Amino acid sequence: MERIKMTTPLVEMDGDEMTRILWQTIKDELLIPFVELKTEYYDLGLMHREETKDQVTVDSAMATKKYGVAVKCATITPNAARVEEYHLSQMWKSPNGTIRALLDGTVFRAPILVKGIEPYIRTWKKPITLARHAYGDVYKATEMKIPGPGRCELVYTAGDGSETRSLIHEFDGPGIVQGMHNRNASIESFARCCFRFGLDTKQDVWFASKDTISKQYDHTFKDIFQDIFDAEYAEQFEKAGLTYFYTLIDDAVARVVKSQGGYIWACKNYDGDVMSDMVATAFGSLAMMTSVLVSPDGKYEYEAAHGTVQRHYYQHLEGKSTSTNPVATIFAWSGALRKRGQLDGLKELEEFAGKLERATVETIESGKMTKDLATISSLPDVTVCDSAAFITAIRERLTELNEEG
Ligand code: NAP
Ligand code: MG
């Protein structure tokens, strides 16, 4: 069989533990037999990050800027226990944080829907894509405990030394205070990423905040979204038959729960943290959640939303077979290959991505799945597979789809 050719390399970011094992199996079984895979390989495994003093992470992000599309395996974010386990010279930063900062991107998360895994919310028929602003607000806040009576103010000192003050509270006893910020430039990037992704995936965009209570802070988010939409995207949205919709966050929650899904829900940083867990859980499984980082100038990094599945990895090291779900990692590859195909005008590559996703979904719908899905599936006949057997079943289906043409 002729394998599909690629023109531009994909930026491949390898990772850690169980997902690193799956990564290789996915390549060997589901990609290399069908595609002449062309990648620029970066090993973000923790040991190699240590060897390169984390330069490899920066290099991989720069390569993403150059080529435009990356696919990333889950990686360990070191904590004290990992520093000991891997004899690290430093507690290296989260690779995702480093890459996100360099690409100035927004993360979009969407569930993979399959028959037999029903969302807890029965009206949901299509995926809900959650877009989380990943800069500022309470995540970059400064806080203080106020010991007793006194006055708290916000003070802005301009370049010329002049001060603007605003009273926060006149304390008559102990209390707490918090100062947080955002930058217009970051909010503008966020808005552009959301509108561009809406056009890309042909979905409406919803945005919500609490502008009625936060008349300066949240209202600025609302205004920036509206200004950018009107100036840069309104016409394209109209042509594509799409809409942009703003509402209050509490109203948005009520509408989301009653909706059928099928749109992008843009959230401020904290709302996005909370609501992405709610949406992921309500759709059934974190192992079925995809994630893509999109920069305002249209660079894409695809990955799974889950981590390296450490507990399964230790079982694997003991020689036991594990039933780790590879679906989100497979969809990271299909997402990246589809995007590469679209950018390079390679119709065959784009179609292959579709077939790979179809083969994966149909395998689960035929009753073959990993343990995490088997425990929540409503199908009558379910076969629990280990990861290798599950991937082999997908390969068989993929081969059939490929032969059908
Ligand atoms: P995790 O890897 O997401 O796994 C937590 C648990 O969720 C697993 O023990 C497993 O439950 C279940 N699970 C997650 N993905 C699964 C899959 N594909 N198939 C089957 N079950 C799955 O989170 P963690 O164990 O807290 O974190 C491990 C490492 O991942 C950490 O070092 C963390 O820094 C890193 N991490 C990386 C990323 C990223 O690179 N994007 C994201 C999050 C975490 P059971 O044990 O019950 O089977
Ligand atoms: Mg969270």
pLDDT number for residue 277: 83
Asked if 30 and 356 count as a contact pair (C-beta separation under 8 A), the reply is yes
> Rounded to the nearest whole angstrom, what is the distance from the C-alpha of residue 271 to the centroid of ligand 2?
10
DSSP 305-368: SS---HHHHHHHHTT-------HHHHHHHHHHHHHHHHHHT-HHHHHHHHHHHHHHHHHHHTTE
Going by CA atoms, what residue is nearest to atom 41 of ligand 1?
74
> Rounded to the nearest whole angstrom, what is the distance from the C-alpha of residue 306 to the centroid of ligand 1?
5
Q: How far is CA 63 from CA 247, 309, 373, in A?
A: 38, 27, 35
Which residue from 107, 308, 360 has its CB within 8 A of the most atoms of ligand 1, so it is best to mutate? 308
Q: Which ligand is nearest to the CA of 305?
A: 1
Evaluate: CB of 309 within 6 angstroms of ligand 1. Answer: yes
- Closest ligand 1 atom to 77 CA: 34
Q: Which residues pair with 204 in a beta bridge?
A: 263
CA distance 300 to 281: 25
> Rounded to the nearest whole angstrom, what is the distance from the C-alpha of residue 146 to the centroid of ligand 2?
28
Evaluate: CB of 259 within 6 angstroms of ligand 1. Answer: no
Token pair listed for 333 = 């590859």
Question: Which strands sit side by side in the sheet containing 69-72, from one edge to the other?
Answer: 39-43, 10-14, 69-72, 300-304, 289-294, 106-111, 128-132, 263-267, 204-209, 244-248
Token pair listed for 228 = 């950018």
Asked if 132 and 194 count as a contact pair (C-beta separation under 8 A), the reply is no
271 exposure class (CB count in 10 Å sphere: 0-12, 13-18, 19+): buried
CA distance 156 to 370: 55
Asked if 2 and 33 count as a contact pair (C-beta separation under 8 A), the reply is no
Going by CA atoms, what residue is nearest to atom 36 of ligand 1?
307
> Rounded to the nearest whole angstrom, what is the distance from the C-alpha of residue 17 to the centroid of ligand 1?
10
Evaluate: CB of 387 within 6 angstroms of ligand 1. Answer: no
CA distance 99 to 103: 6
Evaluate: CB of 140 within 6 angstroms of ligand 1. Answer: no
> Rounded to the nearest whole angstrom, what is the distance from the C-alpha of residue 310 to the centroid of ligand 1?
6
- Report the amino acid identity of residue 6: M
- Closest ligand 1 atom to 291 CA: 41
Closest CA to 170 of 145, 144, 149, 198: 149
Asked if 313 and 21 count as a contact pair (C-beta separation under 8 A), the reply is yes
- Closest ligand 1 atom to 327 CA: 18
Asked if 135 and 180 count as a contact pair (C-beta separation under 8 A), the reply is no
Contacts of 185 (CB under 8 A, 6+ apart): none
Going by CA atoms, what residue is nearest to atom 38 of ligand 1?
307
Strands 4-5 and 35-36, by their bridges, are parallel
DSSP label at residue 2: P
Evaluate: CB of 323 within 6 angstroms of ligand 1. Answer: no
Asked if 317 and 17 count as a contact pair (C-beta separation under 8 A), the reply is no
> Rounded to the nearest whole angstrom, what is the distance from the C-alpha of residue 322 to the centroid of ligand 1?
14
Segment 217-275, tens digit of pLDDT: 999 999 999 999 999 999 999 999 999 999 999 999 999 999 999 999 999 999 998 89
Residue 55: count of CB within 10 angstroms of its CB: 11
The phi and psi torsions of 12 (rounded to 5 degrees) equal -105, 120
57 exposure class (CB count in 10 Å sphere: 0-12, 13-18, 19+): buried
- Closest ligand 1 atom to 94 CA: 34
Q: Which ligand is nearest to the CA of 271?
A: 2
> Rounded to the nearest whole angstrom, what is the distance from the C-alpha of residue 270 to the centroid of ligand 2?
9
DSSP H or E segment with residue 51: helix 46-51
Segment 126-164, tens digit of pLDDT: 999 999 998 888 888 899 999 999 999 999 999 999 999
Evaluate: CB of 131 within 6 angstroms of ligand 1. Answer: no
- pTM, entire model: 0.90
pLDDT number for residue 61: 97
The parts of the chain modelled with pLDDT lower than 70 are: none
Which residue from 309, 322, 323, 371 has its CB within 8 A of the most atoms of ligand 1, so it is best to mutate? 309
Segment 109-123, tens digit of pLDDT: 999 999 999 899 989
Strands 204-209 and 244-248, by their bridges, are parallel
The phi and psi torsions of 93 (rounded to 5 degrees) equal -70, 165
